[in-house]
Amino acid sequence: MVKEKKLFLVYPTFPSGLFASVSPGLLAVAAHAAQYNPGLMIKIWDERLDGAFEVDKVEGALVGISAMTAQVPRAKWIAARAKEAGAFGVVFGGIHPTICPEEFRLYGAVLRGEIEGGSLVQVLADYEHGRPLALEYYTPVGPLESLPLAPPECYDYAARVMDNMISDARGCPLGCSYCSIHIVSGTKIRHRPVPEIMLELKTRKLLEGNPNIQVTFTNDNFGASPQDRTLLQSVKAELKGRAFRWFVQIGLRSLTNHNFLELANSVGQSKLAVGVESPFRDGLSLEKKGIKGIDPARVFEKIQKYPNIRTRLLLMLGFDFEPSDAFEQMLAFIKQIQPDGVYISILTPFPGTKIGAKLEAEERIFHKNWAHYDTRHLVFERRYTKNDNSLGVMSHDEFMTGFNWLVNEAELEIKKWSRFQAETQVL
């Protein structure tokens, strides 16, 4: 009797509890796996929703684990237990395994990069024919055309959370020193055809006017291309006035375009996560491309005229170019900008990034306990710029005290002006 082939796709919990959204990567794997073998039993297990992964179910199965850096310790633990329980094999995917494949040698195989182009098919073929998994599988990034849709039961998983991610584009041209997106997905934005995005939106019943659902488009630089505007126009035409909540990450330059703002305001209710990062623009321009000549205050003043656009200001603390009173200056900046919400992260030296390489070369990284690489912990020696342009050192405790003060004060301030009270929590 031939045993049923089973694929478990596991998304480990985050130590900090952040990022409570659907994993588009696991949905993509499920879609391609079902296309390759329609008879394959596929189960997505998201530990944030389903609790701890039950490894006693995996005998003879293939186990795929997607992991960002903060999830890596938990991902390794799951892999070790799955192998002990008799899993056929474990395959890791995601940003961290792609950049640090050697770290997973004792735990399983690594599928580096993106799954399109044959690498996932090779993994599934090895499993189907009982061949030992290779240490590593890899396919270079390619076009995003004709991507398959996942089985309906996998979209049932997606419907369990408010935030539903839709893969509309990949890659980023900004090359930020602190980001690893462009390392994995390339420095050019690759767009998925709009008709295919619309088909997925309809299949997942995300255009039916449910006000409790938010659709997040994964493009890291939304609004920069004509394709983004075509997508919004297509969504607007399909909605016919029905409710639609959507979220994107966007740069300041796109928000200087009046036509884009008019269009965004006309498509349901939007939340724009605006990557400003820092009020210290000269210093930031050395870490991020394309920001010179844009005044964030003027951009946000313009956005406030649009009643259906919410803003979440994205800020980051911990750069060497910041002054000693960076916390106070950042609070003043928030009060000047008056966003509807704020996300303040701590600079984190993720593997593969320029910042990571710089801090490691300077021997400033405290440890590599990946669970703390979640933008909520300071994991390196923090320096700041003095009035004479020399560098001073701020202790870990002093920095964290200032960071927590800023988060609390910013939350109190935002409640005074936010047009959308649900957005006033500072993350």
pTM across the whole model? 0.93
**Maximum CA extent, the chain:** 77
pLDDT of residue 374: 93
Question: In the Cβ-directed half-sphere of 113, how many Cα atoms lie within 13 Å?
Answer: 14
Calculate what percentage of the chain has a pLDDT beyond 70.
96
420 vs 28, higher pLDDT: 28
The sign one gets for the Cα dihedral 373, 7, 101, 147 is: negative
Is pLDDT of 16 > 80?
A: no
- Stretch 395-424: mean pLDDT: 89
- Stretch 398-402: mean pLDDT: 97
Is pLDDT of 226 > 60?
A: yes
Calculate what percentage of the chain has a pLDDT beyond 90.
79
pLDDT of residue 427: 64
Is pLDDT of 337 > 70?
A: yes
Q: Cα dist. 35→30, 120, 140, 350 in Å?
A: 9, 11, 21, 34
pLDDT of residue 91: 98
Per-residue confidence at 1, pLDDT binned at 50, 70, 90? Answer: very low
Every domain range in the chain assigned CATH 3.80.30.20? 162-423
Give pLDDT tens digits for 129-161. Answer: 999 999 999 988 889 999 999 988 888 887 787
420 vs 2, higher pLDDT: 420
pLDDT of residue 170: 93
pLDDT of residue 17: 61
Of the candidate CATH numbers 2.40.110.20, 3.40.50.300, 2.40.50.90, 3.40.50.280, the domain formed by 6-139 belongs to 3.40.50.280
pLDDT of residue 423: 61
114 vs 126, higher pLDDT: 126
Distance between CA 17 and CA 22 in Å, rounded? 14
Give pLDDT tens digits for 156-201. Answer: 887 787 788 899 999 998 889 999 988 888 889 999 999 999 999 9
Per-residue confidence at 425, pLDDT binned at 50, 70, 90? Answer: low
Domain 162-423 indexed as CATH 3.40.50.720: no
Report the mean per-residue pLDDT for the chain: 92
Every domain range in the chain assigned CATH 3.40.50.280? 6-139
Q: Cα dist. 302→295, 311, 366 in Å?
A: 11, 12, 42
